Amino acid sequence: MQTYEMYIGGQWVPPASGAYLDSVDPYTGKPWARIPHGNAKDADRAVQAAHEAFTEGPWSKLTATQRGALLRRLGDLLVANARRLAEIEVRDNGKLMAEMFAQASYIPQWYYYFAGLADKVQGAVIPIDKPGVLNYTRREPVGVVVGITPWNSPLLLATNKIAPALAAGCTLVMKPSEYTSASLLEFARLVEEAGFPPGVFNVVTGLGGEIGEALVTHPRVAKVAFTGGELGGKSVYQSAARNLKKVSLELGGKSPNIVFDDANIDNAVNGAVSGIFAASGQTCIAGSRLLVQETIYDAFMEKLLALAGTAQIGDPRRSDTQVGPVTTKAQYDKILEYIAIAKAEGATSVLGGKAADRGGWFVEPTIFTNVTNDMRIAQEEVFGPVLAVIKFKDEDEAVSIANDVLYGLAAGVWTQSIARAINVSDRLQAGVIWVNTYRSVSYSSPVNGHKMSGIGAENGIEAIDEYLQTKSIWINTASEVPNPFIMRI
């Protein structure tokens, strides 16, 4: 069994505790690797290394163009290692090889994109209203950034933070989920190979309540970028607020996928299945609430059940597998608990509704009908292959149901009317709206969580702003100094 070490200050080091955690393959339910069980001492060491690299090391002396060149080199290395990284992620989190290889092959584009943005960060000369004064602004990196990422798409969600932070000139300490740390540790080898100076990028591993809390509250950390659940996000936000750190949060969702009666039904059925059963429902943008207009409800459900019923459950490494295992035992138990809650509340299971006997942590693709929007299955994030179907009468009712939830991460709209597509998209309270597609992402398009789904932006030009701060500089060009006892207004 492979044993990993932490990557701190350009060195591979064991945890201060000397203890390790098992990383378990969800398909077999058996350990396949060991990762360091870090603590506050490891957190401090990593942050100090990042702080030194930011303030004194060669990183602080590089031009933005030179930082961009390093990011492009890293992107090239990721292209060459995409297959290997995908294999590690499949073994660590149980998602389909087809999906993880697609992600690993696409991730380099983030580094190319932000490499190009690195030397496009500009301040401005302000036409100030004071004679004899030059006033201009600089956009500068915030400093040491802590990134905390979940287990469902380890490298992709880490990249959403790493690429813009490095492009901005920050240094990083990354703390991946204790369930899926291997791929980010392997990624650190590529950062080293690309030539990034020691301390610019660090990876520590362990439990959130131990090493994660120490990172978030460390006085030398300027910003925390977190992706995960709502409760974890609240905890991070509260802890970071003690020292007024900058925070960005990408949290959960209970996204509506709305099908109107003028939609292409076959396309909408495909979108509904992809929105919830791809990745076994383990995505924050999952279309876990399916809203179907009553005039096409019966015809739509017939086709939906026919397609969803063909899903092949099994080994995520096989090309013919369509639904893999749930990543963790705790999440597996949580999904089954929510299925029981839905049944107790009066929802009808028309597909699945139980664990799948495949040897690992498998849950059958599950569809509930007779769901009302006040049920827990419609209001709370299950994060699994469980779909709640709700019938609606007209556009106003669809929007009302869609917005009647605490979250606001994503939404889908299926219609052939451009007027309806624009109107409904304008009215939906969510950061990403897909029309006649679902679950598409790009490095160039921002993701902004609304309501309880988060704070700040990831991806796109907006993302680099999350890692920058503005400095205003005033230079007196006059020959005389103004009266020191009077504010110059």
Give me the active site residues, please. 250
Distance of CA 479 to the CA centre of its chain: 54
Read off the amino acid at residue 80.
A
Reading the block at residue 237, the tokens are: 């936000």
Angstrom distance (rounded) from CA 161 to CA 243? 21
Q: Which of 327, 347, 334 is nearest to 178 (CA)?
A: 327
Half-sphere exposure of 47 (CA within 13 A, CB side): 25
Q: Which of 252, 250, 256 is nearest to 282 (CA)?
A: 252
Angstrom distance (rounded) from CA 304 to CA 267? 11
Angstrom distance (rounded) from CA 101 to CA 104? 5
Q: Distance of CA 44 to CAs 182, 185, 221, Å?
A: 21, 18, 10
- The DSSP bridge partners found for residue 223 are 145, 246
Q: What is the DSSP letter of 481?
A: P
Q: Which of 145, 208, 139 is nearest to 176 (CA)?
A: 208
Reading the block at residue 175, the tokens are: 């703390």
Angstrom distance (rounded) from CA 392 to CA 401? 8
Cβ(364)–Cβ(355) under 8 Å? yes
